[in-house]
Amino acid sequence: MLIFTVPSRCRRSRLNTAARATPEFKRTRLAVGAPLSQLAPVLDPYPFRLFPNPRAGVPGTVVLPAGGFRRARAEITSWPDYAPTPLRDLPALAVQAGVGVARLKDEAGRFGLGSFKALGGAYAVAQTLVTELARRGVTLAATSADLVARRHAEVTRTITVTCATDGNHGRSVAWGAQRFGCQCVIFIHHTVSQARADAIARYGAELRRVTGTYDDAVREAARVAAAEGWFVVSDTSWPGYTAVPVHVMQGYRLMADEAADQWAGAPPTHVFVQGGVGGLAAAVSVHMRARYGRPPCLVVVEPDRAACLLASAELGTPTAIPGDLDTVMAGLACGAPSLLAWAELERAAAAFMAVPDEAAIACMKLLARAGIVAGESGVAGLAGFLLAAADPAARETLGLRADSRVLLFSTEGATDPELYRHLVEG
């Protein structure tokens, strides 16, 4: 089924060599070039990788149907403590980066949990319970309000949800389990900080540590869940396991929806968004296509030590990368793409980038100076944008110009406050 076309704003990045040689293309380049020589780079020129997606714009499949998002929005916005997070204008940064507009959706305050992940995992817990109540013939029409009111507590308290996490998703699932009245066991790998573990335990979840990486914890959670009859509420998906991650990603879309509602003036031309397993980037991508006739050019930015989406794009197939994924961007330290996310991103992302830890830390400091608290996994998109904006070849590839309008997402605040202080003040 054909569902989208090439976003024309970054079409130049996919021109072949012959097209680049035409006089018409050369004229275009000269006409759109920003006066880069007059700009002081905002970041040091850290090395980065940029891979324009050769498959961008090829017809794809619908991974997140519109009806599912409408349900997610209705449910989540009905939660009593719901409030949209701010979209912050960064005019000075836009000038320094040589674009027209730069705005940052700031997720630090989301539901008091510190990250956008509060939208996904908790909503998927509610949906898992609603589905199970229907399957057991208890009710076909439970809502999250019914669960909060403990209307079916005799059933829900016998249900256990579980997942693997590097911090934020587990916090959301544990919070959702507490809010909606079921049991919760969270698997964390051995490098997840104690502060992040404590933050999850605060919501009453049992924690289990696993040797290895996030991906090892994902496998262990699935294995134990199968043995115990628990329900996996994962933020990643794999063959045969997609229904729950769809709910997670539908929840994420609310962040993009708010951003589009808050966006004043002509729509964004570019979105730089960070990638772990890709669920966030795919949700943003789907939503940008749903909201805008001409969707912005979407660039997915990962840590250079955990760039499984970039590797997948290079090889043209979902690819797991080896190694210990040792990056300060803990939430993005994922070695394998989510199947669902990849189904969206392989055709809808204009490009993939990989950036070093140093660039992320510099961005945390830069935002801190502007009074914005952004954690280490929350700034990769900003790092990618600033590095690309300061690099003439990357600007040209991505079609970044003096009149570009760039949407960024700071997806977490200081979710590990001690580490945040150490990185920003250090």
> What does the binding site for ligand PLP look like in residue numbers (CB under 6 A)?
115, 117, 166, 168-169, 235, 274-281, 331-332, 334, 377-378, 411-412
- How far lies 196's CA from each of 172, 189, 241, 337, in Å? 12, 11, 26, 23
- CB 23, min distance to ligand PLP, A: 41
AA identity, residue 51: F
DSSP conformational letter for 246: H
Active site residues: 117, 166
DSSP conformational letter for 241: B
Which structure tokens are listed for 319?
Answer: 């690819």
- CB 397, min distance to ligand PLP, A: 23
The nearer residue to ligand PLP, 251 or 296, going by C-beta atoms, is 251
Question: CB–CB of 244/233 below 8 Å?
Answer: yes
Question: CB–CB of 52/6 below 8 Å?
Answer: no
Please give the Cα distance from 26 to 74 (Å, whole number). Answer: 49
Please give the Cα distance from 324 to 332 (Å, whole number). Answer: 13
- CB 380, min distance to ligand PLP, A: 7
AA identity, residue 190: H
The set of residues, in sequence order, having a beta carbon less than 8 Å from that of 29 and lying 6+ positions away, is 396
The nearer residue to ligand PLP, 331 or 399, going by C-beta atoms, is 331
The nearer residue to ligand PLP, 159 or 284, going by C-beta atoms, is 284
Nearest one of 218, 209, 236 to 117, comparing CA atoms = 236
DSSP conformational letter for 145: H
- CB 107, min distance to ligand PLP, A: 8
The nearer residue to ligand PLP, 339 or 390, going by C-beta atoms, is 339
Q: Which residues pair with 238 in a beta bridge?
A: 241
The nearer residue to ligand PLP, 147 or 364, going by C-beta atoms, is 364
**Tokens 């006409």, residue located:** 31
Please give the Cα distance from 410 to 108 (Å, whole number). Answer: 8
- CB 158, min distance to ligand PLP, A: 29
The nearer residue to ligand PLP, 275 or 384, going by C-beta atoms, is 275
The nearer residue to ligand PLP, 263 or 409, going by C-beta atoms, is 409
Question: CB–CB of 120/111 below 8 Å?
Answer: no
Which structure tokens are listed for 272?
Answer: 């730089």
- CB 384, min distance to ligand PLP, A: 13
Please give the Cα distance from 86 to 106 (Å, whole number). Answer: 6
**C-beta neighbour count of 4 within 10 angstroms:** 19
The 3-state secondary structure of 102-127 reads EEEEEHHHHHHCCEHHHHCHHHHHHH
- CB 79, min distance to ligand PLP, A: 20
